[in-house]
């Protein structure tokens, strides 16, 4: 167990949070959520004892081993891949190294023999004889081939290094597992494996993630860092979000009697539980169903931007026809027709394929051959994954930036209203756009898209750099949108709830299926058994 008692953290005299009292218990997975800058990473560093609190204490039960997902990809460049994983259990690794030194001696003293005897006993107690095979299994499950296990870390691609560090954190059945954005750079298959691993993991898991699908599938509790407080709620992210929104609506309805409100909340929990029990992950969610508690439901104070894409003109029957489109080395002889109401997700393990395709469709890059024919009623807009070209003009503040795309509406009231939708207010609106964060730039790009009134929108990984609140709003806006969407995303929840068609680049093969993402995955799984 981890107990947090009267915890407070302040910087420059200002409290990030204070009076925090929590318990983290074995058998539960806690998802840490909060707006950017709320203190999620700081809280993780406090739990891992990498940072000292300003006040209060964190009490960790004696003899519990903690494992933390490392963020420095180059920290183990001098080790082999397998040794980098074994380093996840420091005591076991130290024993192995000391044994190697002693056994390398030409002759052993009595003292050496006594020491070896002690080391071997401890080594056996820590299941050391299975350590290398366990580490190899983890690496294989994470998609790292046997041929790389004895390569130096410095020779690995950065995406593979991330997987090795994840294997390192998972190795050796730690009592406490702390993971900061563990799904970053993981493919879908590996994400599913990690979800299954954590659902079978019986110890304490504490995880920060912007991946709502992942949080929904693994978390038994949500730990909300918000407005200087940290509270724990039973249930996954969806339960926290939907229940907090319901509670907020009830707070506004002052005339509703307490008994009626209670009945409404009970009905919500029953409906949510029923949906969970029918899901594909039902067996892994049994623990979650036990954690849903009406007494814990509170209105969220979190602010959500307003994302709502409107069209100024409805699409005609002809939207987009692509024939034999080629741009080497990314794709060849690509043909597809976009039909009315299509919301198409484009999938590829190589993001350059889909980014190049979108650039070609929007005329930013020329194709080698083939034709692109847009319908006469179509107005399109595009949010590229690299938006730097939109923010390279020095001396331009947010108000002036939005004015570029606001047509005849140039007044300060109109402009600031649109910025307010995206949670920009006060002096923030006068910030130079060249110094904005990645998330702030994406929010401005979303405001630009909303102003365009386009009936076809291309989005290349639009959730990049966004916090959970903005991702949720973006997701809802994409679902509501009445036009056609062509998009890529690494967010499973967005793809699952928005796409009604999948175009996937798999090696030299191009798959085009009019189905939901979940149907596509099920079919893919059947075909590859």
**Residue 273 CB coordination number (10 Å):** 17
Among 436, 498, 425, 319, smallest CA distance to 445 is for 436
Asked whether the predicted pLDDT for residue 282 surpasses 50, the reply is no
How many angstroms separate the CA atoms of 146 and 455, rounded? 49
> Residue 265 — pLDDT band, cuts 50, 70, 90?
low
Question: What average pLDDT score do residues 278-295 get?
Answer: 54
> What is the pLDDT, as a whole number, of residue 163?
92
Q: Which H or E element spans position 262?
A: helix 258-277
Asked whether the predicted pLDDT for residue 355 surpasses 70, the reply is yes
> What is the pLDDT, as a whole number, of residue 249?
72
Q: Are 339 and 319 in contact (CB under 8 A)?
A: yes
> 416-437, pLDDT tens digit by residue?
999 999 999 888 889 999 888 8
Among 301, 289, 332, 338, smallest CA distance to 316 is for 338
User: Under the phi-then-psi rule, with left for phi > 0, alpha for psi from -120 to 50, and beta for the rest, what region is 143?
Assistant: left
Average pLDDT value over all residues in the chain: 87
Burial class (CB in 10 A: 0-12, 13-18, 19+), 302: buried
> What is the pLDDT, as a whole number, of residue 283?
46
End-to-end CA distance of the chain: 41
Phi, psi of 405 (to 5 degrees): -120, 10
Location of structure tokens 């809802």: 476
Which residues, 6+ apart, have CB-to-CB distance to 63 below 8 Å?
none
Phi, psi of 92 (to 5 degrees): -60, -45
Indicate yes or no: pTM above 0.85: no
How many angstroms separate the CA atoms of 33 and 208, rounded? 7
- Domain ranges for the chain: 1-64+175-300, 72-170, 320-527
Q: Which CATH class is domain 320-527?
A: alpha beta
Range name among 165-174, 221-230, 244-253, 304-313 with the lowest pLDDT average: 244-253
Q: Which CATH class is domain 1-64+175-300?
A: alpha beta
DSSP letters, 388-418, are GGGG--TT-BHHHHHHTTSTT---HHHHHHH
**What are the distances in angstroms from CA 84 to CA 87, 124, 141, 146?**
5, 20, 16, 14
Asked whether the predicted pLDDT for residue 515 surpasses 90, the reply is yes
> 8-40, pLDDT tens digit by residue?
888 887 888 889 899 999 989 999 998 777 788
Location of structure tokens 């860092």: 225
> 210-245, pLDDT tens digit by residue?
888 899 889 989 998 887 888 888 888 888 888 777
Please report how many Cα atoms fall inside a 13 Å half-sphere around the Cα of residue 210, on the Cβ side.
21
Q: Is-cis flag, bond preceding 329, omega within 30?
A: yes
Phi, psi of 339 (to 5 degrees): -100, 165
> 183-211, pLDDT tens digit by residue?
887 877 788 899 989 988 989 999 999 88
Q: Are 402 and 447 in contact (CB under 8 A)?
A: yes
> 318-337, pLDDT tens digit by residue?
999 999 999 999 999 999 99
Token code pair at residue 229: 């407080």
How many angstroms separate the CA atoms of 111 and 119, rounded? 12
């Amino acid at each position: 167990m981890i107990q947090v008692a009267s915890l407070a953290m302040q910087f420059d005299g200002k409290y990030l949070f204070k009076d925090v009292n929590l318990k983290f218990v074995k058998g539960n997975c806690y998802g840490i959520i909060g707006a950017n800058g709320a203190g999620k990473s700081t809280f993780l560093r406090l739990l891992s004892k990498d940072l000292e609190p300003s006040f209060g204490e964190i009490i960790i039960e004696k003899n519990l081993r903690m494992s933390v997902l490392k963020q420095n990809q180059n920290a183990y460049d001098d080790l082999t891949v397998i040794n980098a994983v074994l380093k996840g259990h420091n005591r076991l690794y130290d024993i192995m190294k000391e044994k190697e030194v002693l056994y390398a001696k030409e002759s052993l003293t009595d003292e050496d023999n006594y020491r070896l005897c002690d080391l071997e006993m401890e080594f056996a107690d820590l299941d050391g004889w299975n350590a290398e095979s366990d580490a190899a299994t983890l690496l294989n499950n994470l998609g790292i081939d046997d041929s790389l296990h004895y390569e130096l870390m410095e020779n690995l691609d950065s995406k593979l290094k991330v997987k090795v560090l994840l294997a390192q954190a998972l190795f050796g059945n730690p009592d406490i597992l702390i993971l900061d954005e563990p799904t970053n750079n993981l493919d879908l298959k590996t994400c599913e494996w990690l979800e299954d691993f954590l659902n079978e993991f019986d110890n304490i898991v504490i995880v920060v993630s912007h991946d709502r699908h992942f949080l929904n599938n693994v978390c038994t509790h949500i730990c909300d860092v918000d407005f200087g407080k940290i509270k724990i709620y039973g249930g996954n992210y969806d339960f926290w979000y939907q229940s907090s929104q319901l509670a907020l609506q009830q707070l506004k309805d002052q005339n509703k009697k307490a008994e009626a409100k209670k009945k409404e909340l009970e009905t919500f929990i029953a409906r949510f539980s029923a949906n969970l029990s029918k899901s594909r992950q039902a067996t892994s969610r049994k623990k979650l169903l036990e954690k849903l508690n009406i007494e814990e439901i509170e209105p969220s104070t979190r602010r959500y931007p307003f994302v709502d894409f409107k069209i100024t003109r409805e699409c005609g029957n002809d939207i987009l026809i692509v024939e034999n489109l080629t741009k080497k080395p990314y794709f060849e002889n690509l043909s597809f027709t976009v039909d009315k109401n299509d919301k198409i997700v484009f999938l590829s393990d190589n993001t350059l394929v889909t980014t190049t395709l979108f650039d070609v469709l929007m005329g930013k890059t020329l194709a080698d051959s083939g034709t692109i024919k847009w319908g006469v009623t179509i107005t399109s807009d595009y949010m590229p994954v690299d938006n730097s070209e939109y923010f390279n003009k020095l001396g331009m503040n947010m108000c002036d930036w939005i004015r570029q795309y606001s047509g005849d509406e140039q007044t300060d009231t109109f402009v600031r209203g649109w910025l307010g939708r995206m949670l920009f207010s006060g002096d923030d609106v006068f910030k130079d756009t060249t110094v904005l964060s990645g998330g702030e730039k994406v929010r401005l790009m979303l405001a630009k898209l909303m102003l365009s009134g386009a009936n076809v929108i291309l989005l290349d990984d639009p959730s990049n750099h966004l916090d959970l609140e903005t991702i949720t709003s973006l997701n809802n806006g994409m679902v509501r949108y009445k036009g056609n969407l062509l998009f890529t995303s690494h967010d499973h929840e967005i793809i699952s709830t928005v796409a009604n068609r999948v175009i996937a680049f798999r090696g030299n093969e191009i798959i085009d299926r009019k189905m939901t993402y979940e149907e596509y995955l099920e079919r893919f799984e059947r075909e590859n058994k």
